[in-house]
Each structure stands twice: as C-alpha cells, then as structure tokens.
Structure 1
Amino acid sequence: MSELISREEVSVEVDFYGIYLQDWDDSQVPVPFPEGWEAGPFLRARPGRLDITSAGHTHTAALTVEVWDAEPPAPSGDWEESERAEILSISGELEVGGVAGGPMPEPIRLSGRECNWSVRVACSGRSEVAEKARQGVPEGVVERYVLQFWPQV
C-alpha cells in the first residue's frame, strides 16, 4: 500500500492557456520552458519538463502536489482530464509557472535528490473556466489540478 509523503497546495497564474513544471535546476533541462511551448494536448512530457494546457487563457488555478512512496490510487472526484507521464528531476525540486508570467518564487519539493518520477495529472473545472474565459478573465479559482508523483521502480 502506498503512503503519502507530502502534500502542497499552491496557486499558479495561468496565461496563454498554459502552465509548466520543470527541474528547478534548469541547466539540467535540455529545452527549458518556454522554448517549444504550444497549447496542445492536456499534458506533454519533455525531458525534465511537463507542459500542461489549460482550458482558459488567463486565470488563477489551484495546484495540489502530492508526493507518494509508490503508485497511489487515483485521486477521488470528478476529473475532466487525467493523464500520466514521467519526469526526471536532477535537483529533486520543480519550478512551476505560467507561459509569460514566469516561475513562482519557490520550488515544489519532491525529494531533494535526483529521481525518475511517474506523475498523474488530473484536472477539474475545465469546462467552466473555458466558458468564463469567453466572457473575460475568470475571477477566483475555477480550474483545479492534482499532481501525484511517485518514484519509478
């Protein structure tokens, strides 16, 4: 049975339909964000980096980042999107940010050491944020993400 190691909740500013996570030491990322960014599939994995396409152009989204010791059960709830990927983090920490707004000042801590991670990304609120974005910039948090990380075996 898997065990939750840590859980962190943060807000991230989405812009140009996207957010990203990449190794905190961007010198270890062959193509650092925003190079090669384009809105596309919900989740795109690149070496050392994850690109997530939002359903809204500009808004604040909620991110819940969970670190587990083994593959956890999928998060409960109704999710409009859910995908899995892999990411190598040399630093054990991830930078999070929007397309033009850049990174948040503090990293997301995974382990503090080099590790290959599996990740499940689930999202809700996509339909609602898309509708509200057609009328302007959505107020408050509408789109929510849960990212579950666990070490690859």
Structure 2
Amino acid sequence: MTRRMVRLEMDVLVVNGLISLLDDGGVQVVPDLDDRRQWLFTGDNAVIVASAGHTDHYAALTLEVWPSAPPAPPADRAWEVVEERVVRLSSGDLEVHPLVTPPGTQILRVGPRGAYHLRAHACGRAEIAALTPDPDIHALRGTERLLLQFWPSRHQPS
C-alpha cells in the first residue's frame, strides 16, 4: 500500500481570488487564467487555484506528497470537484503564496526536479461564492477547503 510521505495543513489567504504555489528554481510559466470554467491551472513551476469567493478570505489548504498515486480520499469527505494535472518543477520546492508576507507562506518539498502528477480536490466553493463579498476575511475561514496531492509522473522531461 502506498504511504503518504508529507502532509502540510494550513489556512491560506486567498488574495485577488487566487492561491499560488510557485517554484522559484526556474522560470514560472503561468497559464491563461481567463477561463472561468476552470479552477485549477498549472504551468512550468506554477500551480494556481482560482477561488470561487468574490473577496479575500482564508481557505483551508492541505498539501500532500506521495511516492505514487494516492488512494481515493475517504468517502466521509465530500469533495465537490476533483481535477488532475501535471506540473513540471525546476527545483522540486513549491512556495505557497510567495507574494504574501510571512508567516503566510510555507515551502513544500515535493521532490527532486521533474514532472509531478497533481490531483486537486475542492469543496465549499458554492458556499464561499454565496457568502462573499464579506469585508471580514476571518469570518469565512475554512469555508472553502482544498486538498492538493503530488506524486512523481512517469513522463519525466528530458
């Protein structure tokens, strides 16, 4: 059975509707964020999550690193949406919200340089959309919840 290697849980400030995870070991290629049907965007050295909220707020973010594809999450956790992508990392280190002043940032060691599979789960999106705008960014803490799981991709860049 595959065992999780790392788990990082944090409340992250959603700024301008986005949560950013960036690897500064190389050029970040950020995808076009204009597609409102999408909520998960990846590019070289970048993972961007578009929130459903209309104002800044805190979301509950869990990041996990696995040696291979993780099992499905427990059925008692009702994730509303799940997306999968591949992200290429130059250093293997992802900084959560690098433009936010510490202690609002964290570094996740995903692994060595290479390509990683990403499975992203989200819930509370409809609820946060209905509850915002709200000028109190703390009042809605944890309404929107995210789980991002990373594991090595079989298709490594040459």
Q: TM-score, normalised by structure 1?
A: 0.83
Q: Structure 1, residues 13-35: CA drift from partner, whole Å, max 9, x if none?
A: 1022111112132xx12436xx9
Q: Specify which structure has the higher proportion of strand.
A: 1
Residue segments in structure 1 that go unaligned for 5+ positions in a row: none
Separation in structure 1 between the aligned mates of residue 4 and residue 35 of structure 2, nearest angstrom: 32
Alignment-derived partner of residue 61 in structure 2: 63
Q: Percent identity?
A: 33
Alignment-derived partner of residue 116 in structure 1: 115
Q: TM-score, normalised by structure 2?
A: 0.81
Tell me, yes or no, if structure 1 residue 87 matches structure 2 residue 91: no
User: Kindly tell me: are residues 101 and 39 of structure 1, through their superposed partners in 2, closer, same or farther at Cα, counting changes over 3 Å?
Assistant: farther
Residue segments in structure 2 that go unaligned for 5+ positions in a row: none
Alignment of 1:19-98 (within 5 A): 19-25=19-25, 28-31=26-29, 37-38=33-34, 40=36, 41-56=38-53, 57-76=55-74, 77-97=77-97
1:36 Cα shift? 5.2
Conserved 8 A contact 2:33-2:41:
no
Separation in structure 2 between the aligned mates of residue 47 and residue 96 of structure 1, nearest angstrom: 15
Q: Partner of 1:107: helix, strand, or coil?
A: strand
**Count, aligned residues:** 147
Alignment-derived partner of residue 127 in structure 1: 126
Q: CA RMSD in A?
A: 2.4
